[in-house]
């Protein structure tokens, strides 16, 4: 999400954002200071003329700036995650062959399964299926995968506590992945959040490279979901039926 924030020296310290992560560029340059939580004139002196500044905040903090000339702060708040609505949205990836020994890892929210809906984390519409499903029973199911690790511990169940978790699993048979948050027939939509989706190869090559999708850019770059390790667009995914209101900035 990008906005223009007009700022004048007469404004003194201006609260720019309390987002966890953002970038901004001052259109007219000029002396300014960046500070979180409690602005302090003693820190003035940093100059960034038309260069993007990357900022992060902790909970309860804000980014404040003070400028020496009238300008606009072009502010881009970086999204943190997308919550799939379980109705019609999912991610379509290029068809990725995963090989035995490769590791698939991602972060997710352990949304409770009171809705009795299966939650497919990933699957494929072509070829041998590599599947991870967090069904309403609470018992994790999979195809072409070994033990499932949740937060570094082997688990046959998946959390339903509405908190953030990390999942990693080793591929046991050569197979394919090309969709996230939906099943192979594109008929069962998942209500969940998936981000930082990555594939680490046992033996990376140019045809089977390590891959990583932050999953934080499906609206400003709609419908592109960027892959950032190779980074040349070859492995970019597509956000299908994404909605702006489903993005979280926390």
- Over its length of 250 residues, how does the chain's per-residue pLDDT go in tens digits? 667 888 888 888 888 887 777 777 777 655 566 655 555 555 444 455 556 677 777 767 788 887 777 888 877 776 678 889 889 999 999 999 999 999 999 998 887 666 556 689 999 999 999 999 988 788 899 999 999 999 999 999 988 888 889 999 999 999 999 999 999 999 999 888 898 999 999 999 999 999 999 888 777 667 899 999 999 999 999 999 998 888 876 5
Distances (CA, A) of 29 to 11, 21, 48: 16, 21, 6
Distances (CA, A) of 114 to 25, 137, 204, 205: 45, 10, 40, 43
Same domain, residue pair 121 and 95? yes
Same domain, residue pair 71 and 137? no
> Quick one: pLDDT at residue 114?
60
Q: State which of 28, 50, 77 marks the end of a domain.
A: 77
Provide the domain count of the chain.
2
Same domain, residue pair 98 and 213? yes
Sole residue written with tokens 């901004």: 24
Domain span at 23: 2-77
Same domain, residue pair 131 and 242? yes
> Quick one: pLDDT at residue 115?
59
Mention every residue, 6+ apart, whose C-beta is less than 8 A from residue 91. 179, 180, 181, 194, 213, 215, 218, 225, 237, 238, 239, 240
Same domain, residue pair 125 and 235? yes
**Neighbour tally for 102: CB within 10 Å:** 25
Same domain, residue pair 106 and 57? no
Same domain, residue pair 93 and 63? no
The CATH number linked to 30 is: 2.60.120
Same domain, residue pair 87 and 70? no
pTM for the full predicted model = 0.73
């Amino acid at each position: 999400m990008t906005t223009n924030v007009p700022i004048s020296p007469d404004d003194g310290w201006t609260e720019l954002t309390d987002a966890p992560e953002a970038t901004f560029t001052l259109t007219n340059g000029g002396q300014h200071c960046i500070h979180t939580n409690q602005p302090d004139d003693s820190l003035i002196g940093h100059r960034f003329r038309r260069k993007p500044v990357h900022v992060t905040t902790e909970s309860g903090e804000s980014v404040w700036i003070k400028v020496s000339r009238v300008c606009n702060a072009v502010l881009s708040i970086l999204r943190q995650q997308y919550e799939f609505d379980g109705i019609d949205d999912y991610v379509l990836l290029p068809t990725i062959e995963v090989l035995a020994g490769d590791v698939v890892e991602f972060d997710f929210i352990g949304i409770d399964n009171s809705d009795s809906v299966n939650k497919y984390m990933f699957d494929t519409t072509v070829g041998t299926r590599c599947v991870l499903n967090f069904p309403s029973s609470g018992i994790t199911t999979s195809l072409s995968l070994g033990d499932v690790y949740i937060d570094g511990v082997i688990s046959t169940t998946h959390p339903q506590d509405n908190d953030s978790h990390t999942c990693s699993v080793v591929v046991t048979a050569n197979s394919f992945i090309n969709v996230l948050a939906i099943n192979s027939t594109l008929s069962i939509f998942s209500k969940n959040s998936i981000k930082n989706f990555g594939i680490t190869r046992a033996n990376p090559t140019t045809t089977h490279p390590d891959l990583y999708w932050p999953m934080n850019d499906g609206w400003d770059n709609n419908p592109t979901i960027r892959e950032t390790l190779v980074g040349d667009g070859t492995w970019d995914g597509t956000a299908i039926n994404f909605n702006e209101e489903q993005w979280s900035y926390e």
